[in-house]
Amino acid sequence: METAQQSDMKQIHLNSLFLKLALSVLTGMAVLAASLSWLTIRTSGQIFSEMFSASQRKIFGQIEERFYQMYMNLAEIANTVADDAAVQTYLTAEQLDGVKGQKLTWQMQSQIRRTSIRQRPNLTLFLAGADDRSYLCSQGDVVRVPYAELLEYPVTQKAREQPGRLVCNYMQSGFTDTMKNVPVIAACRTITDGRGHTAGYLWLLMKESEVRAFYNCFLTGISDIVVFNQEGEVISTNNPRYRKDQNEELSRLLEVVAQARKSRVYATEEVRNGETVCYLVQQFTNSDFVIAGVVNARQTFYEAYGLYRNILITILVACSMMVPVFILVRRQTRPVSRLAASMREQKQRRFTGSVPVEGTDEIRELSKTYNEMITDLNLYIRKVVETEEAKRTAELHALQMQIHPHFIYNTLAGIKWLILQRDTKQSLAVLDAFIALLRNTISNADAFITIRQEEQNLRNYIQIIQTRYGSKIQAGFYIQPECMEAKIPKLTLQPLLENAFFHAFPNGQRGTVNILIHHTGKQLRIEIEDDGIGIKKDSTCDPSIHKETPGTSKEHFTGIGIRNVDERLKILYGPAYGITIDSKPGRGTTVKVQIPYELYNQNERRTFKGRF
Q: What is the pLDDT of residues 31-80, one digit of tens each?
A: 766 776 677 666 766 666 666 666 767 777 777 778 878 888 888 888 88
Q: What is the DSSP letter of 493?
A: S
Which residues in the chain come in under a pLDDT of 50?
Answer: 1-13, 17-18, 540-559, 605-612
Q: List, in sequence order, every residue forming a beta bridge with 167; answer none if it has no partner.
A: 188
Contact indicator for 568, 396 with CB cutoff of 8 Å: yes
d(CA 536, CA 527): 20
d(CA 298, CA 38): 13
Nearest to 529 by CA among 497, 484, 569: 497
Query: Alpha helices, DSSP H only, in 269-306?
Result: 297-304
Which helix (H) or strand (E) element contains residue 234? Answer: strand 234-237
Rg value, the chain, Cα: 51
The pTM of the full predicted model, rounded to 2 decimals, is 0.45
Determine the residue type at 280. Answer: L
Query: In Å, how far from its chain's centre is CA 603?
Result: 50
Q: Are strands 198-207 and 184-192 parallel, antiparallel or unpaired?
A: antiparallel
d(CA 49, CA 304): 11
Nearest to 532 by CA among 565, 568, 507: 507
Q: What pLDDT score was predicted for residue 29?
A: 63
Length of the chain: 612
Determine the residue type at 489. Answer: P
Task: State phi, psi for 319 to the nearest 5 degrees.
Answer: -65, -40
d(CA 302, CA 307): 5
Per DSSP (E only), the strands in 557-603 are: 578-584, 588-596
d(CA 55, CA 40): 22
Q: What pLDDT score was predicted for residue 293?
A: 80
